[in-house]
Amino acid sequence: MPITTRICRLSGTEEDGKIYREAGEILRRGGLVAFPTETVYGLGANALDAGASAKIYAAKGRPSDNPLIVHIAERGELDRLAAGITPEAEILMEDFWPGPMTLIFSKKDAVPKETTGGLMTVAVRMPEHPAARELIREAGVPVAAPSANLSGKPSPTRAEHVIRDLDGRVDMILDGGPVPIGLESTIIDMTGEEPEVLRPGRIRLEEIRAAVGRGKIDPAAGVQGTSDMIARAPGMKYRHYAPEAELTLVLGPPEAAAEKIRGLAEDSLRRGRRTAVLCPSEDRDRYPGIPVIPAGSSADPESTARELYRCLRALDEDGIEEAYTGELAQEPFREAVLNRLKKAAAHIITTGETE
């Protein structure tokens, strides 16, 4: 049964106060509110209410063993959610909160297992986006929020994406315009021997090491190692961001990769397939006669991060059957963008000699 979704455009003025009060009320009563954060839009529910968390899984069509991130507005709120907060964690929070960093701790009893997908740990983040902070304050409860997309779709970076996926499935959508970062937060597991990055994001391993002197990356985060020839991306399990189009990611030196992409895309067109290449806007001319979806500018990695999910959604909107891409962004988003491309790709090819 579809429900009526209220879509509220935030103006950034005092008039928003009424909207936040209503949204906070919905959350306290166990309802669902989608809202912008600096990374991607989130789909919020009261994190301490098992029934409310369960609604998130139903609205997204998400498997119930996939845990949610709990969002807070003040450091003090962490103490009733998490145990074993180490001095290293304090340093990371001091340096990177509010911001695009999620930390995993042992959970306290106040957090229901419905929120943590049955795990004894809890993921917590303090977002920086003013709308997210205002909503959490008004709600007066910690807010569990996965990305506000249907399970399997790219994360939403604009309110239009949320509306397309969740209209009729949630109580309210707060439209705060396009988000500033465009890729999900860096997730760091703080329960092990040393901080371990489980999902790369805007906050890089180098910055974590600079802050606390150590840290590692989970090899299964999908950012290390490349494959020879054609390899299946590691299992359906990892195709979280998959477009309907069959995406091939070509790795290798830029010239060789572009050459390979051009050849593959031309072949796909000859086979009569609806084809597109994703590339930085400057590289358009490398693909004459091939439909191109520009993904930001190579001179501005921030723009690529912001545009990536919109571009993946555009593949489906345009009915593309085969899409080709190389690496799209340099630091500070190289690892995070490559990670998402690997997860979205059906095939990963390595070409040419590595430099």
Residue 53 binding: pick among ligand TXA, Mg ion, none (C-beta 5-8 Å cut-off by kind): none
Pairing of strands 292-294, 275-279: parallel
Which one of 147, 275, 298, 325 is in contact with Mg ion (CB under 5 A)? 147
Give the nearer residue to ligand TXA in terms of CB position, either 40 or 256: 40
Give the nearer residue to ligand TXA in terms of CB position, either 42 or 112: 42
Segment lying near ligand TXA (by CB under 6 A), choices 122-130, 166-174, 303-311, 323-331:
122-130
Does 102 contact ligand TXA by CB under 6 A? yes
CA 49, CA 52: separation in Å to the nearest integer? Answer: 5
* Partners of residue 249 on adjacent β-strands: 325, 348
Of 329, 274, 343, 271, which Cα lies nearest the Cα of 301?
Answer: 329
- Helices and strands in the chain, H and E counts: 9, 18
Its sign, for the CA torsion 73, 199, 23, 77, is negative
Which one of 10, 52, 53, 116 is in contact with ligand TXA (CB under 6 A)? 116
Site for ligand TXA, residues 59 to 88, rule: CB under 6 A = 66-69
**Residue 13, both tokens:** 């003025």
Site string for ligand TXA, 131-150 (x = CB under 6 A): --------------xxx---
Site string for Mg ion, 69-98 (x = CB under 5 A): ------------------------------
**Residue 255, both tokens:** 């010239």
Question: Chain centroid to CA 17: how far?
Answer: 28
Does 37 contact ligand TXA by CB under 6 A? yes
Q: Phi then psi for 275, rounded to 5 degrees?
A: -125, 150
Give the nearer residue to ligand TXA in terms of CB position, either 71 or 347: 71
CA 18, CA 11: separation in Å to the nearest integer? Answer: 12
Residues at the contact surface with ligand TXA, assessed by CB under 6 A: 37, 39-40, 42, 66-69, 102, 104, 116, 119, 121-123, 125, 145-147, 184-185, 187, 198
